[in-house]
Amino acid sequence: MNMQNTTNQYGWLSILLHWLVAFTVIGLFALGYWMVDLDYYNPWNKQGPDLHKSIGILLFFVMVFRLIWRSVQLKPKALKTHSETEKKLGHLVHLFFYTALFVLMICGYLISTADGRAIEVFQLISIVSFGELFTNQEDLAGAVHKYLAYLLMSFVVLHALAALKHHFIDKDNTLTRMLGYQRLNIK
């Protein structure tokens, strides 16, 4: 398999970025969901948010790279089994994913830096804080972060169900292309 995309399949780097982002986003959601109920005396009360922030910052840079990579790569053709509606919905869902992820990460930054402290990324680098940029920044950004994360996860579930529908009902290569191999019986 090539590193770069072709008109028929995704390259290994696009596939790797897709799954890296997918598992990271699901993991960050799970960590965020778990850590909000930790009490003050739990050692993860500090470690959980620090880990969540550090991974979130790294994800930001991966997403910037992913956007750049996507912009310079061929996009494999949609399969003939995809209707025009499916193609348009797929495009809108991917646009939502990219937009929602960047809004989530910006909100996470605004939550974490509202008090003027930098974000320590695995105690290796510090991401500078611009402090409170607007009134109630932490609360407003926190509400957007929380509800957008839930909305994103609902779209992740729909996205996974759509991939399974293509695989088991339509019997096309939508899922297998993103897993790195293609069936021989392409429709």
Whole-model pTM: value is 0.93
Give 185 or 58, the one with higher predicted confidence: 58
Question: What's the domain count of the chain?
Answer: 1
In a domain, 64, yes or no: yes
In a domain, 29, yes or no: yes
In a domain, 4, yes or no: no
In a domain, 184, yes or no: no
Residue 38 has pLDDT above 80, yes or no: yes
| Cα 81 to Cα 186: distance, rounded to the nearest angstrom | 10
Quick: pLDDT tens for 43-91.
999 999 999 999 999 999 999 999 999 999 999 988 888 889 999 999 9
In a domain, 7, yes or no: no
Closest CA to 170 of 185, 155, 154: 185
- Return the pLDDT at 182: 65
Contact 63, 105 (CB under 8 A): yes
In a domain, 40, yes or no: yes
Residue 1 has pLDDT above 90, yes or no: no
**Average pLDDT taken over every residue of the chain:** 94
Mean pLDDT, residues 156-169 taken together: 95
In a domain, 55, yes or no: yes
Residue 18 has pLDDT above 70, yes or no: yes
In a domain, 101, yes or no: yes
What are the E-state strand segments in 17-78? none
**Domain region containing 24:** 12-179
Residue 181 has pLDDT above 90, yes or no: no
Q: How far apart are the first and last CA of the chain?
A: 21
Task: Output the CA torsion sign for 143, 149, 150, 155.
Answer: positive
Contact 114, 131 (CB under 8 A): yes
- Return the pLDDT at 187: 41
- Return the pLDDT at 184: 42
Residue 144 has pLDDT above 50, yes or no: yes
